[in-house]
Amino acid sequence: MRRLLPWLTHHLQTPFVVLILGVMVYVLWQSQSFSLGARLFPQVVASAGILLALAELLRQFLRRGAREEQDFTDLASEEDSVAYYGRGMLFFGWLVVFVVLLFLVGPIIAAGMYVLLLLTVQFRSPWRVVVALSLGLMALIWVLGVVLQLRWPASLLSGLI
């Protein structure tokens, strides 16, 4: 396990391509049941995808151990460590927190609570700043909601009231 994680982070590209390969195979397999007009395009595309994914796996095998060369496409320049991946997942978790809050208490309260939570729990910011930002964001969302006539999800809280 201790050796598996570093290996995964350095070679995440291999499982990812295998995953894409899996999706392509699924698409090819599923599309067998469609009528001709709906079937042909996904079949051709998925077949091409399978060949490309296999070619990419072969390339990765031949160049195993070598680091990806950077160029103008967007290979991330951040560090490639387990700790960094952990932090990344942590912040995806924070994104989920907002979605959950949104459906629980509605957008305006959720926005305020989210600022409070993220800035105090995660970043331990000075409370005056946190409160000011929290109120500011709530006001902003409220104003945008009124001005742009935005519509919000029905929250659990409003359902209870």
Partner 1 sequence: MKKWVKGLCVGMVALSLSAIGSVQASPETYYAGKSIRIVIPFSPGGGTDTFGRLIGQYLGKHVPGSPTVISENVTGAGGLLGSNEFAERVAHDGTTLLTASGHLNLRAFLGLRGLRLDLNALEPVVAAPMGHVTAIATRAGIDKPEDLAQAKGRLTKGITDPIGLLESLIALEMFDLNYRPVPGYSGRGDTRIAFERGELMINTQSTPAYLSRVVPLIEEGKAMPLFAIGFIDADGNPVRDPAVPDMITAPELYERIHGEKPSGMVWEAFKAVVPLVQNTRGTLWMHGDIPDDAKEALRIGVERMVADPEFIAASERILEGYEIIHGDDLGQIKDSMAAASPEVIAFLREMLSTRFGTQFED
Partner 2 sequence: MLEALINALWILLDPFRMGMLFAGVAIGILVGILPGLGGLMGMALVLPFLFGMDPYAGIALLIGIAAAVPSADTFPSVLMGIPGSSGSQATVMDGYPMARKGEAARALGAAFAASMIGGLLGALALTAVVPFARPIILAFGSPELFMLTLLGLSMVGVLSGNRPIKGILAAVFGLVLGTVGGAPVAAEYRFAGDFLYLYDGFSLVILALGLFALPEIVDLLARGGAIADKKHGLGSGWMRGVRDTLNHKWLVFRHSVIGVFIGFIPGMGSSIIDWVNYGIVVQTSKDKSQFGKGDVRGVIAPESANNAKEGGVLMPTLLFGVPGSSAMALFLGALMIFGIEPGPQLLTRELDLVFVIIWSLALANIFGTLICLLLSKPIARLTFVPFHYLAPFIIVIVMLGAWQETRHWADLVFLLAFGVLGWVMKRTGMPRPPLLIGFILSTLAERYLWMSYNLYDWEWLYRPGVLIIAALSIVLMVAGARIKRSAQQSVPDGGES
Residue 124 interacting with partner 1 (CB under 8 A): no
CB of 40 or CB of 54, closer to partner 1: 40
The contacts found for 15-22 with CB under 8 angstroms, 24 or more apart, are 17/53, 17/56, 17/57, 17/60, 18/53, 18/57, 20/49, 20/53, 21/49, 21/50, 21/53, 21/54, 21/57
38-67 binders of partner 1 (CB under 8 A): 38
Residues 100-159 that bind partner 2 (CB under 8 A): 102-103, 107, 110-111, 114-115, 118-119, 122-123, 125, 129, 133, 137, 140-141, 144, 147-153
User: How big is the site for partner 1, counted in residues (CB under 8 A)?
Assistant: 4
Tokens linked to 114? 């989210």
Q: Which residues bind partner 1 (CB under 8 A)?
A: 35, 37-38, 151
